[in-house]
Amino acid sequence: MSSLHAPRPPVSSITINAVSLDILQQQHADLRRPPASLTKLMTAYTAYDLLAQSGGSWSDMITIDPRDVHEVADDETRMGLVPGESIVLGRLLEGLMVVSGNDAALALARHLAGSQAAFAQHMNDHARALGLHDTHFISVSGITTPGHLSTARDMAILAAQVLGRYPDLLAITAQRRFVHHTLHKANQNALLGEDGVDGLKTGYTQAAGFCLAATARRRCAGHALPLRLINVVLGADSRVSRDDQVRAQLDAGFASAGMADAQRA
């Protein structure tokens, strides 16, 4: 059977406590596979780090290089950047996380590291430092690229690190809509607002299937303060299937966390 018609690997998933990193559920969590636009969790993490190193600010203005518009294929997601326009860096972060703009990813990479390759090297350095042993980045946007791979476990750990180190990103991922020039687009995370879900990142390519790193904060039996969980699903065969799995796994995760605390009491 040719690779073109090879069946997609089984769905990978994991649910963890966002603070303790305790695992509440996992299935094929260490299967290496394309992470699609969940890649942008590391793009954002790296952008925060490089911006801090440079002494810059998200309010800095930059000019969009035409290459960062023209190098994005017609079938890729965009935030609608225009060559030569001036834009605040923070706006690129919104376009990256709310509507998964690949043009935003390229613009951030070029501005902060000089090139996509240099920025991806920083991404891989962070992956090693965070213990993401089954992850390797080549693209800053998550387009299908040979050797660009991760796992549900690594993506969940990355999501927890992003939330822990850069908590203000959560408010961006919770935005329901994004407007830039003539582009008016909804956040593709249809779970936002359901039972405490307030982020984080969707993804889809034909090779990766439908992917989602979701986080929710709810009151839970046995916990004085609301509990935050992270659930990652990679490789679902439809958006509906992906969302249903995330809903069910978050519900089960919160129930499991409460039950575990009740048993320890």
Percent above pLDDT 70 for the chain: 95
Q: Annotated catalytic, 40?
A: yes
Q: What's the pLDDT score for residue 216?
A: 98
| Domain limits, the chain | 8-264
Mean pLDDT of 60-64: 97
Query: Is the model's pLDDT at 161 over the cut of 80?
Result: yes
- The active-site residue, picked from 100, 139, 141, 150, is 100
Q: What's the pLDDT score for residue 261?
A: 52
Tell me the pLDDT tens digit for each residue of 212-254.
999 999 998 777 889 999 999 999 999 999 999 999 999 999 9
- The active-site residue, picked from 37, 139, 141, 150, is 37
CATH number of the structural domain 8-264: 3.40.710.10
Q: Annotated catalytic, 57?
A: no
- The active-site residue, picked from 13, 40, 185, 201, is 40
Tell me the pLDDT tens digit for each residue of 99-130.
999 999 999 999 999 999 999 999 999 999 99
Mean pLDDT of 133-150: 97
Mean pLDDT of 91-104: 98
Mean pLDDT of 176-189: 96
Token pair listed for 13: 């998933």
The larger pLDDT score, comparing residue 260 to residue 143, is at 143
Q: Annotated catalytic, 37?
A: yes
Reported confidence tier of residue 6, pLDDT bands at 50, 70, 90: low
Mean pLDDT of 22-49: 98
Q: What's the pLDDT score for residue 262?
A: 47
What does pTM read for this prediction?
0.94
CB-based contacts of 155: which residues, under 8 Å, 6+ apart?
A: 35, 38, 41, 135, 213, 232, 234
Q: What's the pLDDT score for residue 64?
A: 98
Mean pLDDT of the chain: 94
